[in-house]
Amino acid sequence: MQVKVGCVGVRQVTVWVHPALARFLSGDYRTFSGGEISICLGEEASVRELLDFLELPRGLAELIVVNGEVARADTIIPASAHVRIYPIFGGG
């Protein structure tokens, strides 16, 4: 499933959010239950700005992958990127 969201910027990215994080998403995205979201971000948008845009509480998203590579909070997201957001993993 792919959800299209109206563009408010100039850089379209495709975002997949792990289902365990979906309940923490901001209002418009809260009903999102899996699949991908297409979002338009402003120029030079970072991973941190994307997480803020989605209103994910800090500390819940542990692993962010941009175009197949692990990203840091200050990583700039390129146009047409595929971003995957994973929660904290536990186990022993």
The pTM assigned to this predicted structure is 0.81
Q: What is the largest CA-CA distance in the chain?
A: 43
Q: What is the DSSP string of 29-40?
A: GTT--SSEEEEE
The pLDDT value recorded for residue 83 is 95
Q: Where are the alpha helices (DSSP H) in the chain?
A: 47-54
Question: What are the pLDDT digits (tens) for 32-64?
Answer: 556 688 888 888 889 999 998 888 888 889 899
The pLDDT value recorded for residue 10 is 66
Three-state DSSP class for residue 64:
strand
